[in-house]
Amino acid sequence: MAVQPDNPLIVQSDHTVLLEVDGPRFAAARDALAPFAELVKSPEHIHTYRVTPLSIWNASAAGHSAAQMKETLVGFAKYPVPQNVLRDIDDYASRYGRVRLERSGDKLVLRTDDPAVLVEAWATSTVRKYLLTARSETETLVDPGMRGHVKQAMIRIGHPIEDLAGYVEGGALEIELDQDEDFRLRAYQEAAVDAFWAGGSARGGSGVVVLPCGAGKTIVGMAAMARVNRKTLILTTNLTAVQQWQRELAEKCVLDPEDIGEYTGQRKDIRPITVTTYQIMTYRRSRTEPFLHLGLFCDHDWGLIIYDEVHLLPAPVFRFTAELQATRRLGLTATLVREDGREDEVFTLIGPKRYDVPWKLLERQGFIAPATCTEVRVPMDEDQRMFYAGANRREKFRVSSENRNKLDTLMRLLKRHEGQLVLVIGQYLRQLRRIAQVTGAPIITGKTKNEERAVLYEQFRTGEIRQLIVSKVGNFAIDLPDASVLIQVSGTFGSRQEEAQRLGRILRPKADNGHAHFYSLVTRDTLDQDYAQNRQLFLTEQGYTYMIVDDSEVLV
Query: What pLDDT digit, counting tens, does each position of 344-385 carry?
Result: 888 999 999 999 887 778 888 888 888 888 999 999 999 999
The answer to whether residue 404 is domain-embedded is yes
Residues 104 and 61 in one domain: no
CB 495 within 8 A of CB 489: no
Q: Is residue 3 part of a domain?
A: no
Helix locations, 140-287, DSSP H:
147-155, 187-197, 217-228, 239-252, 278-281
In the predicted structure, residue 526 carries a pLDDT above the cut 70:
yes
Q: How far apart are CA 474 and CA 487, in angstroms?
A: 12
Secondary-structure percent of the chain, ordered helix, strand, coil, rounded to 5:
40, 20, 40
Instruction: Report how far residue 89's alpha carbon sits from residue 70's, in angstroms, rounded to the nearest whole number.
Output: 7
Residues 279 and 184 in one domain: yes
- Asked, for residue 4, whether it belongs to a domain, the answer is no
Residues β-bridged to residue 469: 424, 443
Average pLDDT over residues 209-214: 84
How far is the C-alpha of 279 from the C-alpha of 266, rounded, in Å? Answer: 13
Please indicate, yes or no, whether residues 395 and 476 belong to a single structural domain of this protein.
Answer: yes
Residue 27's pLDDT band, with cuts at 50, 70 and 90, is confident
| Overall pTM > 0.85 | no
Q: Kindly state the percentage of the chain with pLDDT values over 90.
A: 58
Up-side HSE of residue 347: CA atoms within 13 Å toward CB?
27
Among 171-180, 256-265, 493-502, the least confident range: 493-502
Rounded CA-CA distance 206/185 in Å is 21
pLDDT tens, 297-327?
877 899 999 999 888 788 778 877 887 888 9
Q: State the chain's maximal CA–CA distance in angstroms.
A: 75
**Dihedral angle, C-alpha 321, 325, 330, 333, nearest 10 °:** 40
- Does residue 133 sit in the same domain as residue 25? no
pLDDT, the chain, mean: 88
**DSSP string computed for 164-185:** -S------B---EE---SS---
pLDDT of 519 strictly over 70 = yes
Q: pLDDT tens, 218-235?
A: 999 999 999 999 999 999
Number of domains in the chain: 4
Q: Are strands 485-488 and 516-523 parallel, antiparallel or unpaired?
A: parallel
pLDDT (average), residues 466-488: 76
Are residues 484 and 367 part of one domain? yes
Instruction: Kindly state whether residues 322 and 417 are assigned to the same domain.
Output: no
State the Cα torsion 158-65-51-41 to the nearest 10°.
-140
The residue out of 308, 336, 357 marking a domain boundary is 357
CA distances, 218 to each of 211, 410, 484 (Å): 10, 33, 21
Q: What is the CATH number of the domain that holds 125?
A: 3.30.70
pLDDT of residue 285: 80
Phi, psi of 445, deg, nearest 5 = -125, -175
Question: Is a pLDDT exceeding 70 seen at residue 247?
Answer: yes
Shared domain for 383 and 475, answered yes or no, is: yes
Q: Report whether pLDDT(479) > 60.
A: no
pLDDT of 23 strictly over 60: yes
Residue 69 lies in a domain: yes
Confidence of residue 493 (pLDDT cuts 50, 70, 90): low
The answer to the question of residue 478 being in a domain is yes
The answer to whether residue 169 is domain-embedded is no
Per the rule left: phi > 0, alpha: psi between -120 and 50, beta: everything else, 435 is alpha
Residues 153, 54 share a domain: no
Q: Give residue-wise pLDDT tens across range 398-448.
A: 999 999 999 999 999 999 999 999 999 998 999 999 999 999 999 998 888
Any domain includes 253? yes
Domain ends where: 163, 186, 201? 163
Query: What residues make up the domain containing 13?
Result: 9-95
**What mean pLDDT comes out for the span 237-259?**
90
Asked if pLDDT for residue 264 goes beyond 80, the answer is yes
Q: Name the 3-class secondary structure at 270.
A: coil
Residues 348 and 224 in one domain: yes
pLDDT at 478 over 60: no
Residue ending a domain, choose from 60, 75, 95: 95
In this predicted structure, what is the pLDDT of residue 474? 61
Same domain, 203 and 249: yes
Q: What's the chain's length in residues?
A: 556
Whether residue 207 is found in the same domain as residue 348: yes
- Minimal CA–CA distance to 206: which of 286, 109, 310? 310
Answer yes or no: is pLDDT of 536 > 80. Answer: no
241-265 average pLDDT score: 92
- Per-residue pLDDT of 72-106, as tens digits, reads 999 999 999 999 999 999 999 999 999 999 999 88
Reduced to 3 states (helix: H, G, I; strand: E, B; else coil), residue 488 is: strand
Same domain, 503 and 381: yes
The CATH number linked to 471 is: 3.40.50.300
Write down the pLDDT at residue 359. 76
* 171 inside domain: no
